[in-house]
Amino acid sequence: MDLSDSVEVLKGVGPKTAVILNKYGIRTVRDLLYTLPRDYENYEAPTSIAEMRPGKVVIKGKIDSLSSRRAKKRNLSITEGVIRDTTGAVKVVWFNQSYRVRQFSPEKEYYFTGNYEFKNGRYSLISPSAAEVSGVDPISGLSPIYVAHGGLKSNDFKRIISKSRDIFISIPDLLPSVRHGTRAKALFYAHFPNSEKSIGGARNYLAYEELFELILASQLNRRENDKLQAEPIAFRVNKIRELVESLPFKLTMAQRRAAWDIFQDMGKATPMNRLLQGDVGSGKTIVAGMSAYEAFLGGVQVAILAPTAILASQHYEGLKAILEPLGVKIALLTGATKKKPELKKQIREGVINLVIGTHALLTDDTDFMKLGLVIIDEQHRFGVEQRQKLMLKSPAGLAPHLLAMTATPIPRSLQLTVFGDLDVSILDELPAGRQPITTAIITEVETKEKLYPHMEKILQSAPDQKKHGIKAHGQQIYWICKAIDDVDGKTAGDSSDKLDITSVKKRCRRLREVFPNARVEFLHGKLKPSEKDVVMEQFAAGEIDILVSTTVVEVGVDVPNATLMVIENAESYGLAQLHQLRGRVGRGASAAYCYLLTSGDMRPSRRLTELVKSNDGFHLAEVDLKLRGPGEIYGALQHGALDLRIASLSDTKLISRARKDVGIFLQNPENMVKYRELMGGIAKYQQITTLN
Ligand code: ADP
Ligand code: MG
């Protein structure tokens, strides 16, 4: 038997079962063997029924008179029966598990474990888990519990896998150089443990295997990238110096270092594949601008991809001011762009040197004459296919240099695994003069005495930057809401001060009442792109004092005169997102504030208290990894692609061992041919470990 054979070759799998398994992606023998138990039940040392005491018990016996009925009141099915051993009998009850009626045969002996308690006037065993005695290891009493897949319950998996017990012995190893044990043993003990220790050993082995695959995939991506050809772009030091000197500020050391890394990469004939990580406000845009200028000087076109129209137009305005005087022809291409065919023609003919755009850039009819550099802002907002689309727009035989930017820092453990040997530059320094953002948790009842007065003060403060002086009356405020529309049916004029009002529109009305002299507007994702742009432009120009918005302002938008943010229903956001949102303020020289508004019903979560304590995105990313696990943090993984079965991305010891072994593995090119199963299996990981 081969591991890649269809599950149907297994004794316990008939056509019906196969259909269900296939539906859940379990197609091959390998898939089934890697469907590992979610946990184990321990049926060690059963007591006799006569000696049972209330509480958790393990008993061993036969079951009869099993029947199922519907409870009258609630929509509940009740399955009842009697368990007997040589010392006595006990009533057993399951709720909403009517399949139990078919699970047992009256001649066979089973273990049961559950709570023995007083319910509905008598003692019974409540919803115990059950396992056939013959299928449980006699010494350890351990029995696996599988996740139910549709109609297939844990016990069905147990039955199927037990029938295949004899195939484990011939399972070949997936990897070379594993120091302890074999895959055959690891998989066997995962399904048929004979001690707690054997489970630990099995999980450790399989976790290692998984990390090895992930790291190998990531490193192979790098090798593949290194085989590609790109247009080398020479570093024109004097021209770049001119640009830097024309800027209204001095670059930070971190910006200089990042730009230097990028210029080195772009000088090579293999494509750059670099990730620029910088906390919100660290100044990634100008680094992108310098790279774009360098590419322009080298005679190639540049595309900058941004996740939203607002952000694209902000980049466009910002970079136009800097680069157009130097002769760069810049265009903006978003869904709202007029005369698209004409613009696309200019891009195709190479008249446009730098195009900044949204998804609109990715359409098939956007062609470049000589695309040499692709910059992706907030790269985790884009899927692999989207990024690839742009990369394919370069001339035949040449790959563009790629600079990906993100403000969502990748925790180091992820960097070592998922993004293996990616080139990374980090902006770990904020521009001079920035004030840290003071963050505080505030409850509903405190709004009137604490929050509103502070907001009033902000509205009265002198504008942060001179250029806003004309239109901005004072400093500006973001108020972030969860919902767009009224949710609870209350109408305008509702003067209750309770903050159960979470919609953008309602909050906007409310704030207009509280601050009659302020110009309050709202923004949300359902507005037309052109409407959104108008509101955002007005806010940026200081024509709006308080902007009530959903999280559409989360990404990248830069209004230095906005110095206070309120995040309503703060508990409903993730840590990374809260940090991103908060980064919309504190972008100028004035002190900035972020209020996390909560109902006050519960103690604030760890997420919020961590946010109050730290302004450091890298630190917060580590915390987030610990609190939530990796899948939810990093955008590229948002589709659940990185569902590691068992490996933990915070197991740094195992990670570094796997990394070392992958290094050794890659030294021998023959391995790539020899380990076919391994090489075939890592394609799925390569999809998510690639930048381009
Ligand atoms: P982010 O990294 O979040 O994309 P931006 O590139 O939008 O940050 O920069 C945030 C703000 O800081 C912008 O207003 C930008 O002009 C300004 N800025 C960037 N670099 C510097 C610097 N070295 N000194 C002062 N201000 C800077
Ligand atoms: Mg940015």
Q: How confident is the model at residue 553 (pLDDT cuts 50, 70, 90)?
A: confident
Q: List the one residue out of 373, 385, 413 whose CA is nearest residue 218.
A: 413
**Cβ-contact 130, 103 below 8 angstroms:** yes
Summarised one tens digit per residue, pLDDT across range 82-135 is 999 999 999 999 998 888 998 899 999 999 999 999 988 889 999 999 999 988
Residue with tokens 């900035």: 592
The reply to whether ligand 1 has any atom less than 6 angstroms from the CB of 558 is yes
Give 281 Cα–ligand 2 centroid separation in angstroms: 7
Give 396 Cα–ligand 2 centroid separation in angstroms: 31
User: Which atom of ligand 1 is least distant from the CA of 252?
Assistant: 23
Give 281 Cα–ligand 1 centroid separation in angstroms: 5
Pocket test for ligand 1, best of 286, 290, 317, 377 (most atoms within 8 A of CB): 286
Pocket test for ligand 1, best of 284, 290, 379, 558 (most atoms within 8 A of CB): 558
Give 336 Cα–ligand 2 centroid separation in angstroms: 21
Q: What are phi and psi of 8, to 5 degrees?
A: -65, -20
Over 50: is that where the pLDDT of 488 sits?
A: no
**Cβ-contact 546, 567 below 8 angstroms:** no
Check residue 421 and give its pLDDT.
Answer: 61
Distance CA 153, CA 159 (A): 10
Give 655 Cα–ligand 1 centroid separation in angstroms: 35
Give 5 Cα–ligand 1 centroid separation in angstroms: 56
The reply to whether ligand 1 has any atom less than 6 angstroms from the CB of 400 is no
Summarised one tens digit per residue, pLDDT across range 358-415 is 988 988 888 999 999 999 997 766 766 776 777 777 777 788 999 999 887 776 666 7
Q: How confident is the model at residue 628 (pLDDT cuts 50, 70, 90)?
A: low
The reply to whether ligand 1 has any atom less than 6 angstroms from the CB of 579 is no
Pocket test for ligand 1, best of 246, 285, 554 (most atoms within 8 A of CB): 285
Q: Which ligand is nearest to the CA of 409?
A: 1
Mean pLDDT of 420-449: 86
Give 555 Cα–ligand 1 centroid separation in angstroms: 14
- What number of other Cβ atoms are within 10 A of residue 673's Cβ? 8
The reply to whether ligand 1 has any atom less than 6 angstroms from the CB of 249 is yes
Give 272 Cα–ligand 1 centroid separation in angstroms: 23
Residue 590: DSSP 8-state: S
Over 70: is that where the pLDDT of 223 sits?
A: yes
Predicted TM-score (pTM) of this structure: 0.70
Distance CA 276, CA 285 (A): 10
Check residue 556 and give its pLDDT.
Answer: 56
Q: What Å distances lie between residue 664 and 164, 209, 415, 577, CA to CA?
A: 35, 15, 19, 39
What is the token pair recorded at 538? 């007005």
The reply to whether ligand 1 has any atom less than 6 angstroms from the CB of 289 is no
Check residue 278 and give its pLDDT.
Answer: 87
| Residue 39: strand, helix, or coil | strand
Distance CA 560, CA 22 (A): 54
The reply to whether ligand 1 has any atom less than 6 angstroms from the CB of 282 is yes
Mean pLDDT of 348-360: 94
Closest residue by CA, ligand 1 atom 15: 283
The reply to whether ligand 1 has any atom less than 6 angstroms from the CB of 559 is no
Mean pLDDT of 668-687: 84
Q: List the one residue out of 25, 29, 4 whose CA is nearest residue 167.
A: 29
Q: 210: Cβ–Cβ under 8 A, 6 or more apart, which residues?
A: 644, 645, 646, 647
Q: How large a percentage of the chain has pLDDT more than 90?
A: 49
Summarised one tens digit per residue, pLDDT across range 167-206 is 998 899 998 866 678 999 999 999 999 999 999 999 999 9
Distance CA 406, CA 661 (A): 30
Q: 370: Cβ–Cβ under 8 A, 6 or more apart, which residues?
A: 231, 299, 300, 301, 350, 394, 395
Distance CA 376, CA 399 (A): 15
User: Which atom of ligand 1 is least distant from the CA of 282?
Assistant: 2
Over 70: is that where the pLDDT of 498 sits?
A: no
Give 308 Cα–ligand 1 centroid separation in angstroms: 18
Closest residue by CA, ligand 1 atom 10: 281
Distance CA 450, CA 465 (A): 26
What is the token pair recorded at 296? 């322009």
Domains contained in the chain, CATH given: 44-135 (2.40.50.140), 237-267+283-406 (3.40.50.300), 437-614 (3.40.50.300)
Average pLDDT value over all residues in the chain: 86
The reply to whether ligand 1 has any atom less than 6 angstroms from the CB of 519 is no
Give 477 Cα–ligand 2 centroid separation in angstroms: 19
Q: 448: Cβ–Cβ under 8 A, 6 or more apart, which residues?
A: 497
Over 80: is that where the pLDDT of 237 sits?
A: yes
Give 402 Cα–ligand 1 centroid separation in angstroms: 21
Over 50: is that where the pLDDT of 138 sits?
A: yes
Distance CA 429, CA 282 (A): 7
Closest residue by CA, ligand 1 atom 19: 283
**Cα 653–605–499 angle (5° rounding)?**
150
Closest residue by CA, ligand 1 atom 22: 431
Within 328-480, where are the H helices? Answer: 340-348, 384-391, 412-417, 452-460
Rg (CA), the chain: 31
The reply to whether ligand 1 has any atom less than 6 angstroms from the CB of 588 is no
The reply to whether ligand 1 has any atom less than 6 angstroms from the CB of 542 is no
Q: How confident is the model at residue 546 (pLDDT cuts 50, 70, 90)?
A: very high
The highest-confidence range among 175-179, 315-319, 672-676, by mean pLDDT, is: 315-319
User: Which atom of ligand 1 is least distant from the CA of 377?
Assistant: 4
Mean pLDDT of 590-617: 90
Lowest mean pLDDT among 184-188, 205-209, 597-601: 597-601
Give 285 Cα–ligand 1 centroid separation in angstroms: 7
Over 70: is that where the pLDDT of 142 sits?
A: yes
